[in-house]
Amino acid sequence: MTEAVLKVVGAHLQYGVVRALQDVTFEATRGHVTAVVGTNGAGKSTLMRAIAGLVQLNKGRIEGPDGADVTRMPPDRRLTDLGLALVPEGRGIFHHMSVDENLAMGTRIGIRRHSEASAAEHLATLRRLFPILEQRHAQLAGTLSGGEQQILGISRALLAQPAVLLLDEPSMGLAPLVVERLFQTLAEYRKQNDLTVVLVEQDTELALELSDDAYLMEQGRVTLSGPSNEVSRSPALRETYLGVS
């Protein structure tokens, strides 16, 4: 039986005259990868920011794993209490801090949510999966390459041992080979951990390939949703987003 760990119900959000979200209903199922696809300005990132608590909805509600209304909960509590971790577009790493210092900020939440032993174990696992974290541990994060910064951003979020990992455009600006390796490693991590992922991607083909469920957003609305294999067969999506008819 599928179980929703995150629900957005009837979300409306307006920036001035721009309607960024219009009656958006969204659900992420435990252990699944849920993709949110669409063009620039479709409202994908706004949806992620609303889920993470960075922007407040004008109308609608956000429900956590137990169905509780968390619409007004501040972002730090969404991470510590609910385990909602967002890796934002642009990675959100601290450029003037070392790799270790960046990771320590994730570890602290991991300790708060679980235990010191579990946080240490997670750090060891991530260093094994991403050796770059050990090799560059004292280096300033701002001096890492784009791919390494993305690895750092995702690892820092995973160190908080989240229940739901929200990834906003993780492939942006990265070489295809780097993206492939990143997702392979992430898949390996997900096998070992009960992790739900919400993936926002402009690369529709990649997102549908990696996900179990998918939502298509256009002009602030969800226009198509369902299992990814069904969504990818939709004629409208195939023609507009995959370039095939």
Residues lying near another protein in the complex (CB under 8 A) are found at 52-54, 74-76, 79-80, 85-86, 88, 92-97, 101, 104-106, 108-109, 112, 156-157, 160
Q: How many CB atoms lie within 10 A of CB 162?
A: 24
CB contact at 8 A, 85 and 133 = no
Cβ proximity to another protein: between 104 and 178 the closer is: 104
Min dist. Cβ of residue 159 to another protein (A): 9
Min dist. Cβ of residue 55 to another protein (A): 10
Min dist. Cβ of residue 236 to another protein (A): 34
Cβ proximity to another protein: between 52 and 151 the closer is: 52
Cβ proximity to another protein: between 21 and 48 the closer is: 48
Collect all residues with Cβ–Cβ distance below 8 Å to 141 and sequence separation of at least 6: 93, 94, 95, 96, 97, 98, 99, 102, 149, 152
Min dist. Cβ of residue 47 to another protein (A): 15
d(CA 49, CA 52): 5
CB contact at 8 A, 40 and 15 = no
Cβ proximity to another protein: between 82 and 216 the closer is: 82
φ, ψ for residue 105, nearest 5 deg: -70, -35
Q: Which two tokens stand for residue 80?
A: 């510590």
CB contact at 8 A, 158 and 165 = yes
Q: Where are the beta strands (DSSP E) in 169-243?
A: 196-201, 213-218, 221-227
Min dist. Cβ of residue 109 to another protein (A): 5
Cβ proximity to another protein: between 75 and 226 the closer is: 75
